[in-house]
Amino acid sequence: MSQQPFSTLALHADLLKNLESLDYHSMTDIQAQSLPHILSGKDIIAQAKTGSGKTAAFALGVLEKLNVKRFRIQSLILCPTRELADQVGQELRRLARTIHNIKVLTLCGGVPFGPQIGSLEHGAHIIVGTPGRIEDHLRKGTLNLDDLEILVLDEADRMLDMGFQDSIDSIIDQTPKDRQTLLFSATFPDQINNIGKRILIDPITVKVESTHNNDIIKQAFYKVENNEERMIALRLLLQKHQPESSVVFCNTKREVQEVADELANRGFSAISLHGDLEQKERDQALIRFSNKSACILVATDVAARGLDIDNLSAVFNYHIAHDQEVHVHRIGRTGRAGSKGLAFSFYSSKDNHRIALLEDYLDRNIKDEQLPSAEVLDTPPLQSTMITLRIEGGKKQKIRPGDVVGALTGQDGITGAEVGKIQVSDNWTYVAVQRDTIKTAFKKLSEGKLKGRKFRVMVVRG
């Protein structure tokens, strides 16, 4: 980890002051290696895993170069999923809070087109969005990139995996040739190198090692011969270690749903996340997992991009990943922010070649470990500590998190300590409450008032 302070960079005083207030003192490795080049105007192609601080790296570069008085779209950040775009937008606003009048606009699919057109008509400095929706706006003439100075491709490998190559090419064709381009990717398949050669000019290559310290992440591998044995192994390890929050990675959408359904049927607090879900279902899955209303998230690699969970206890590879870098990227989601993590991988005889490649990549011998005793299955599966309530009202109805807390903790209500994460969107609000308070919380919200009126309230379940 880099110990280089942000103050050594040529950043605006307001940005440095804000970083200090956010307890951002020393740069991460990816920030220390990339930010000086970004600030000097160089194109970069950077490889870094989730949790490495890459968002702040490109965000600080974008904010430092921004001219607030010039009310034009100066930067465009492309992300593979709406969840990641929202996360990047939030981080940008957080880093920019000491600089007045900066407008960051998020443009993603899954939401109505009309309001986005209205927002664009009012102008913006920075656009964060998904390739499909950005391409739609360009095609309809509602978005103009003639004044663009910086283009960022975040999680570029996943955008290509999701089939956005043509959309990315179309977007790039409508940007100025003399822009600065920053390409961030967790893995480096040939496609990334090819796109880098086409769209970057004399790029600086930055790579942060993706291997993990065994003292932080404990990896264990288990040999199974079929999916029945895989499921038994998964249940045994979940029962033995009782992780408060864990992700089970599957290689296909169908497998994700089958595994999530099987776990749920056996009493586990498990939900699925994959590309075939409706946007509302995806949103609710991520909200429930992030606010501790579900213990297990079963997901594909693509769907899990943008997942930002601080204390992920364990990661399970239901099947070995097709690529060694993807394997490392998966397990890097646990053991973050200095906490310890567990990573469990299942493999069969058919995976021997992948195991050999993984041994070379990790520089370690992989041995089949012993599964826990079947006796652990006699205990009930761990249940989530929280339950989520959905209120059919949000920002457009002037609801704020403080209003929800006030309604819950009023007379004969629950305590503030029993209220969890609150997320307010345009027309809905999600709030997590401790499991044993759900009846009281539901009654307070459904029978009481918010902003002087009643709103429909429901319990969000699997």
Please write down the HEC assignment for all residues of 143-207: CCCCCCCEEEECCHHHHHHCCCHHHHHHHHHCCCCCCEEEEEECCCCHHHHHHHHHHCCCCEEEE
Helix pair angle (352-362, 324-331), 10° resolution: 70
Looking at residue 307, what is its pLDDT?
A: 64
- Domain 386-460: what homologous superfamily? RRM (RNA recognition motif) domain (3.30.70.330)
CATH homologous superfamily of 6-207: P-loop containing nucleotide triphosphate hydrolases (3.40.50.300)
| 217-378 and 386-460 agree in CATH topology | no
**pLDDT reported for residue 309:** 61
- What integer pLDDT is reported at residue 305 of this predicted model? 65
How far is C-alpha 409 from the geometric centre of its chain's CA atoms? Answer: 31
User: What is the C-alpha to C-alpha distance for residues 358 and 401, in angstroms, rounded to an integer?
Assistant: 46
Q: How far apart are CA 246 and CA 224, in angstroms?
A: 20
For residue 368, what is the DSSP state?
B
What distances in angstroms separate CA 342 from CA 216, 261, 321, one per listed residue? Answer: 8, 23, 17
Q: What is the DSSP letter of 108?
A: -
Tell me which long-range contacts 309-313 makes (C-beta under 8 A, separation of at least 24): 309/245, 309/333, 310/336, 310/337, 311/244, 311/245, 311/336, 311/337, 311/339, 312/245, 312/246, 312/247, 312/336, 312/341, 313/241, 313/243, 313/244, 313/245, 313/246, 313/341, 313/342
Residue 12 dihedral angles phi and psi, to the nearest 5°: -60, 145
Q: Is 379 exposed, middle or buried (0-12, 13-18, 19+ CB in 10 A)?
A: exposed
Asked if residue 151 lies in contact with residue 175, where contact means CB atoms within 8 angstroms, the answer is: yes
Q: Which residues of the chain have pLDDT under 70?
A: 1-2, 50, 161-163, 209-215, 303-311, 335-339, 462
pLDDT of residue 188: 74
* Cβ atoms within 10 Å, residue 143: 24
Q: Report DSSP state, residue 374.
A: G
182 Cβ neighbours under 8 A, 6+ residues apart:
34, 38, 43, 44, 46, 58, 61, 150, 151, 152, 153
Give the Cα separation of 214 and 233 in Å (integer): 22
Region of residue 103 (left: phi > 0; alpha: psi -120 to 50; beta: else): beta
- pLDDT attached to residue 329: 78
pTM of the model: 0.62
Query: What pLDDT, on the 0 to 100 scale, is given for residue 306?
Result: 58
Q: Rounded to an integer, what distance in angstroms lies between the CA atom of residue 18 and that of residue 292?
A: 30
> Candidates 3.40.630.30, 3.40.50.300, 3.40.50.720, 3.40.640.10; correct CATH number of 217-378?
3.40.50.300
On the CB side of 372, CA atoms within 13 Å amount to 17
Give the strands of the sheet with 429-434, arranged side by side: 419-424, 429-434, 386-391, 457-460
Domain ranges of the chain: 6-207, 217-378, 386-460
Rounded Cα distance, 236 and 244, in Å: 15
Nearest residue to 342 via CA among 229, 212, 210: 212
Q: CA gyration radius for the chain?
A: 23
> What does the pLDDT read at residue 393?
94
Q: What per-residue confidence (pLDDT) applies to 153?
A: 96
Residues 6+ apart with CB under 8 A from 281: none
User: SS3 of 217, please?
Assistant: strand
